[in-house]
Amino acid sequence: MPQLKRFLPLAAFLLLVVLLVRGLTLDPTELPSARLGDSLPNFNLPVLGESVSRQAEDWQGEPALINVWATWCFSCRVEHPYLLELAQKGVTIYGLNYKDDPEKALVWLDDLGNPYTETVVDKDGLFGLDLGVYGAPETYVIDGLGVVRHRHVGVVNEQVWNEQLAPYFEAAPKSTIARVI
């Protein structure tokens, strides 16, 4: 038994090495989402710059992106020009202004352009928590029934659009495809 105690530090060290190696092989952009295949969680949030509120059912009817963004997010600024391109091609993008100052958000959109069909303000982050948001930017694909079909963590660019997001729009009804492509 005393000889076995000698090897405990070595065994603990080897276990730690195995755990660290496993952690280094994980892709941080592949975060699981408990919402995939489920409807958007219920929400009742104010529309940025307006005196009305929106609910989950207001964002149904056609495939769309929900882009989580904030003025404090540098990566959001990086992806913004590409979101403007997608909006110009007819892609419906809803904005979720996440844990941000609405006044700063309005100025940001005025300065950089507004790719969003509509933006709701999640100042406390409660809707984001229900949706499974880890931070900004994150982009979700919802189908015409408001079901979450895909989640992308990080910047949306042409490669991400072509490889991950566009296929959900190509599978949409023909009237929607004509507008997106």
Q: Tell me: the pLDDT tens digits for 89-110?
A: 999 999 999 999 999 999 999 9
pLDDT for residue 153: 94
Rounded to an integer, what distance in angstroms lies between the CA atom of residue 42 and that of residue 54?
Answer: 10
For the entire predicted model, the pTM comes to 0.79
Rounded to an integer, what distance in angstroms lies between the CA atom of residue 180 and that of residue 86?
Answer: 8
Give every CB contact of residue 64 below 8 A, 6+ residues apart in sequence: 91, 92, 93, 94, 117, 141, 142
pLDDT at 180 over 50: no
Question: Residue 159: exposed, middle, or buried by beta-carbon count in 10 A (0-12, 13-18, 19+)?
Answer: exposed
pLDDT for residue 26: 63
Q: Which of 148, 171, 152 has the alpha carbon at shortest distance from 160?
A: 152
Helices 74-88/102-112 angle, 10° precision: 50
Query: CA end-to-end span of the chain, whole Å?
Result: 71
